[in-house]
């Protein structure tokens, strides 16, 4: 496998985790995307220095933490939302093994799978892409009120489904 393919294999496997790590600290979606691009560039430039005996995800998150702190230092107009120590604590939390999904999470996952595609799209826009209702309405060509009502119905439906799955409803 050549260097580029090896890099892409590692990067694509960890891209979502990197985005989640950066997004957990940097709340602005556009700034998060910019930092992710900077991190990808540094990872590519320093890929020869990567030790394959170590976790690529941990190495990448360490570089992302540095880029986040650099970003905060550059924007002196905006107060730094988190201290470097807090960023390191978040970094440490990402390095811990993921807990097993709870029974409730598994029920929710099954219920999400039962939703119509349009409803899953709205949930994805709201909770994965963190869009505001107005942005969602523009994206799906609907009124703000229609999106609000649809999300309310979807949440009610999911709550009832999860309760039924767990035998509590």
pLDDT in tens, 11-59: 999 898 899 888 888 878 888 899 999 999 999 999 999 888 888 988 9
Report the CATH number of the 3-95 domain: 1.10.1740
DSSP notation for 97-125? PPPPPPHHHHHHHHHHHHS-HHHHHHHII
Domain locations along the chain = 3-95, 103-166
38-46, Cβ contacts within 8 angstroms, sequence gap of 24 or more: 38/67, 39/63, 39/64, 39/67, 40/11, 42/67, 43/7, 43/11, 44/7, 44/11
pTM, two decimals, is: 0.51
Angle between helices 144-166 and 133-140 (to 10 degrees): 100
> Does the structure show a pLDDT above 60 at 130?
yes
The whole-number pLDDT of residue 114 equals 92
Report the CATH number of the 103-166 domain: 1.10.10.10
Q: Count CA atoms within 13 Å of residue 107 on its CB side.
A: 16
């Amino acid at each position: 496998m050549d260097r580029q393919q090896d890099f892409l294999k590692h990067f694509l496997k960890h891209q979502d985790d990197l985005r989640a790590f950066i997004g957990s600290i940097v709340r602005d979606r556009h700034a998060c995307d910019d930092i992710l691009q900077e991190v990808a560039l540094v990872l590519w430039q320093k890929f020869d220095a990567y030790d394959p005996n170590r976790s690529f995800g941990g190495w990448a998150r360490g570089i992302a933490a540095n880029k986040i702190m650099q970003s905060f230092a550059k924007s002196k107009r905006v107060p730094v939302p988190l201290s470097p120590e807090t960023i390191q604590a978040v970094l440490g939390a990402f390095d811990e093994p993921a807990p097993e999904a709870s029974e409730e999470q598994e029920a929710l996952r099954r219920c999400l799978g039962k939703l119509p595609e349009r409803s899953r799209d709205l949930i994805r826009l709201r909770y994965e892409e963190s869009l505001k209702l107005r942005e969602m309405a523009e994206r799906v060509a609907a009124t703000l009120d229609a999106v609000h009502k649809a999300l309310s119905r979807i949440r009610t439906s999911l709550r009832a489904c999860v309760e039924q799955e767990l035998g509590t409803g």
